[in-house]
Amino acid sequence: MSMSTAIAALVDSTVGIFAPRRALERRAARAASEQFGASFRGARQNRLQQGWAVSSGSADYDLLPDLAILRERSRELLRNDPHAASVVGSLVDNVTGTGIKPLAPRLAPLTRESEIQAVLRDAFHQLRDHFARADG
């Protein structure tokens, strides 16, 4: 029994003393999560994963030093393996569909531009009249 399982059993039994119904719910939830495999298989620790060296860096940190080699091998695989080419073709078809169709942004209607010009013209005339009165 692992340490986390032992601690969980201790907590469940302690909760059972004070709240039996809640302890029963906890046991049922724990059994359901174990039945459906709530943990990731890659996170398990057994003899097969003992020597597995992992990196805690970002994807960029892990991939960028070897990016050129990875690209070359990927292209080689696509050229020489029809299954790989089929997978990439299906991915492209399902992601982009019939293609990417860029749309130009809609311009403001001419009447809106005319309204803005009219407001600016009125503000300019008021400002001009104000300075004319101040000079005069």
* Per-residue model confidence as pLDDT tens digits over 93-108: 877 667 777 777 776 6
| pTM, rounded to two decimals | 0.35
- Report the C-alpha gap between 33 and 26 in whole angstroms: 11
| 46 shares its domain with 73 | no
In a domain, 90, yes or no: yes
DSSP tag of 55: -
- pLDDT tens per residue across span 65-89: 899 999 999 999 999 999 999 988 8
- Report the C-alpha gap between 102 and 1 in whole angstroms: 59
Containing structural domain, residue 84: 58-96
Residue 114: the pLDDT is 76
In a domain, 11, yes or no: yes
Look at the chain and report how many structural domains it folds into. Answer: 2
